[in-house]
Amino acid sequence: MTDQSYNFAYLDEQTKRMIRRAILKGIAVPGYQVPFASREMPMPYGWGTGGVQVTAACLTPEDRLKVIDQGADDTTNAVSIRKFFQRTAGVATTEATAEATLIQTRHRIPEHPLTEDQILVYQVPIPEPLRFLEPRETETRKMHSLEEYGLMHVKLYEDIARHGSIATSYAYPVKVEGRYVMDPSPIPKFDNPKLGDCPALQLFGAGREQRIYALPPHTQVVSLDFDDHPFQATKAPHDCDLCGASESYLDEVIVDDAGNRMFVCSDTDFCRSRREAGHAGRLTMQEAAE
């Protein structure tokens, strides 16, 4: 049931228009961080209020919403955001990536390929990729406007100097259409190749930092690297123990007090649909044999 004491999707129409203008500007200048007047939402900042505001500004009554947190539909964060929009917008929801028209995500891009009929909304904690080495906001803005990005490579240099290889494994910086350097939010670098040439519209919302940025469909996105240390989209060298998938991003889970581990798809919908289609992994085959 929709809660009638709120406007559709909680935010009032003026606020949604303001956010949409920021989104349109972001789409017009891919990778550029557009400031917007972030509103108080009835949830703490760490819960993705930037993503929630972008979602609220994009939702229509016909949409089918999916919300994931680290790839899972059933974490507290994902469940409460989904419920929030069920209550305030009355929209249909789904856990199936292929059926969703709008997907709000934290820390992952779904495994199932996205289409041009979909919008992917990212929750972003820190939108500024240069923040790590240059804390002054006035200076980072200038660096973006003048395309002074040497500092990003200093960060990667430091990684290699300390760890022997580029150890940054999430929030891995990218260059968009040969112009803006962008933080893709804390997705694993395994997901970086999916950012580029993606048919879906990708929107990024940072609530506390009051920034929105965007990747329109089929945007060129390149992960930064060195000639002699090229970017690699790594994952754990295993197959999923539940569905046997070899190409999906895996979470390592400790299963008992003896410290036994298993590797499972972080994308719960992807894993379940593979199992429903008859695929099996190491553990499901053991169980079947017992």
Partner 1 sequence: MKMEPITATPLLRVDNLTKRYGSRIGCADVSFDLWPGEVLGIVGESGSGKSTLLSCLAGHLTPDEGQVIFDTAGGPRDVLRMTEPERRRLSRTDWAFVHQNPRDGLRMGVTAGGNVGERLMAVGARHYGDIRDRATDWLGRVEIAAERIDDRPTAFSGGMQQRLQIARNLVTGPRLVFMDEPTGGLDVSVQARLLDLLRGLVREMGLSAIIVTHDLAVVRLLADRLMVMKSGRVVEQGLTDQVLDDPQHPYTQLLVSSVLQV
Name the residues that contact partner 1, by CB under 8 A.
133, 142, 146, 148, 150-151, 153-154, 157-158, 160-162, 226-229
Active site residue 243: yes
Q: Which of 51, 205, 271, 281 is catalytic?
A: 271
Rounded to 5 degrees, what are φ and ψ at 213? Answer: -140, 170
Residue number, 163 or 261, with CB nearest to partner 1: 163
Report how far residue 275's alpha carbon sits from residue 277's, in angstroms, rounded to the nearest whole number: 5
Is residue 58 part of the annotated active site? The answer reads no
| 265 among known catalytic residues | yes
Report the residue number, 148 or 177, with the smaller CB distance to partner 1.
148
Q: How far is the CB of 45 from partner 1 (least distance, A)?
A: 26
First to last CA, the chain: 45
Cβ nearer to partner 1, comparing 148 with 239: 148
Residue with Cβ nearer partner 1 (158 or 251): 158
Contact 202, 215 (CB under 8 A): yes
User: Which residue in 48, 58, 265, 281 is the catalytic one?
Assistant: 265
CB of 229 or CB of 282, closer to partner 1 = 229
d(CA 143, CA 135): 12
Among residues 240, 244, 278, 281, which one is catalytic? 240
Q: Catalytic residue at 164?
A: no
Smallest distance from partner 1 to CB 232, Å: 14
Q: Which of 31, 50, 205, 281 is catalytic?
A: 31
Tell me how far, at minimum, the Cβ of 43 lies from partner 1, in Å: 34
Shortest separation between residue 127's beta carbon and partner 1, angstroms: 21
CB of 35 to partner 1, least distance (A): 21
Q: Choosing from 243, 244, 259, 278, which is the catalytic residue? A: 243
Give the active site residues: 31, 240, 243, 265, 271
